[in-house]
Chain A
Amino acid sequence: MALKPGKLIAVIGDEDTCIGFLLGGIGEVNKSRATNFMVVDKNTSIAEIEDTFRGFLKRNDIGIVLINQNVAEMIRHIIDSHVLPIPAVLEIPSKDCPYDPSKDSVLRRAKGMYTGDDFK
């Protein structure tokens, strides 16, 4: 299997999630001072989150976007419309909100696949 070299892992989440994953070694500040993370707090508007998420999707150096599920709920319409394989969007739990598989976009698509007609 041939592999293409290294894309970054971006993270959009609350303070502790961002600090944690930056401690884990995925944070980067490039030459144009653009970061691959965004800290979402109570003062962050939905428009800012949408702009940052769209920005991460457009960047060609990001392979995976980690996003807290409670933040993902705020921009669900954009996440549901993202169908390209790269970057992959992964919903992760936060300190305050555990992961709920019923809200995950990818799993909801899988759940909605089967109807009674399929098994005839």
Chain B
Amino acid sequence: MSGMMDAVCEQLDDTVLQMFQVLEDIYDQQDKLEQAMKDGFLAMSRARYLLGVKWVSVDQILDADFSSKYRTLTDTSLADEVSTLEAVESSLKTSEIDKLSLFELSQDTTDVRSDQKVEQAEIKKTDADKQTSLRKRHTDNSGPDKNKTKEDIDETNESKKNTTISKNSKKHDDDDEENPPKKESSSNSLSLFGILTPQPLRTSQKHFEGGVSIAVSLADLKLKLSLLQCRYKRLSEQKLSLLSDEQ
């Protein structure tokens, strides 16, 4: 019995020490996040001064389409979203909480890439169709194709512009295929604020990207703190029950 009590007390002490360490890390990370955000806001203000207030505002983002560049990866011990903290804590061993990284930041490019692949595949198909149809038009200028001759002239005159028997979307797809970097940049959130963005806006983006990684580590630390609290509570109750048994 005394052996069990000693073990429980030792675990309690370890838990308290871990909690204080995690608290210290949280305060440290909060200061870093605050500083990163301050630097980001300052750079954003400079960008507003250069571009104008309208161009760095909510209006640019409300109706825009964009996808996230960063996502969080969560540990499988948090697999069931409905799990309570107590359930998660009881499934972890004593030394695991300290070493566990419950949230991690990942750069998510898969959705962009898969969308690009699909779009490029569609573009290739439409290009192949156009090439065959162009060839057909060039070789057969009489009859029903007479109506298309003006379009043929336009196409030959305009370099790298393929029009317009097809829909406008295909035209835009062709332009995008010729300049793939434009597509990649459309997934960059800077493109929401114009094509030629000033350096302060890029600086602001860097600061906030740093802020995102700090925020993820903070979420990780706060979750660890909550798990340690659950552990402390459980061990305290165990200690009280042992004390009452002794009496």
Contact = CB atoms under 8 A, between A and B. Distances in A.
B74 A110 contact: no
Contacts of A66: 215
A26 B69 contact: yes
Contacts of B81: 60, 84, 86
Contact of B208 (A24, A90, A93, A95): A24
Interface residues of A, number: 48
B226 A23 contact: no
Contact of B189 (A1, A23, A95): A23
Q: Is the interface of B mostly helix, strand, loop or mixed?
A: helix
B104 A3 contact: yes
Interface stretch (A11-19, A48-56, A73-81): A11-19
Given A106-B226, A110-B19, A24 B209 contact: yes
- Residue of B23, B41, B100, B204 most packed against chain A (CB within 10 A): B41
Contacts of B23: 107, 110
Interface string A83-94: 111101010110
A116 interface: no
B58 A19 contact: yes
From DSSP, what is the main secondary structure of chain A's interface residues?
mixed
A99 B68 contact: no
B213 to A, nearest CB: 9
Interface residues of B, number: 68
Contacts of B75: 1-4
Nearest to B64: A29
Nearest to A112: B229
Contacts of A22: 61, 66, 189, 192
Given A99-B34, A110-B23, A4 B211 contact: no
A110 B229 contact: yes
Interface in B58-98: 58, 61-62, 64-76, 78-79, 81-85, 88
A70 interface: no
Contact of A24 (B61, B67, B212): B212
A63 B205 contact: no
B170 interface: no
B26 to A, nearest CB: 7
A27 B57 CA distance: 15
Contacts of A24: 40, 70, 189, 205, 208-209, 211-212
Interface string A8-44: 1100000111111111111111000000100100000
B119 to A, nearest CB: 16
Contact of B72 (A17, A63, A92): A63
10 contacts: A6-B73, A8-B71, A18-B58, A20-B41, A25-B205, A63-B103, A84-B82, A93-B37, A110-B229, A113-B229
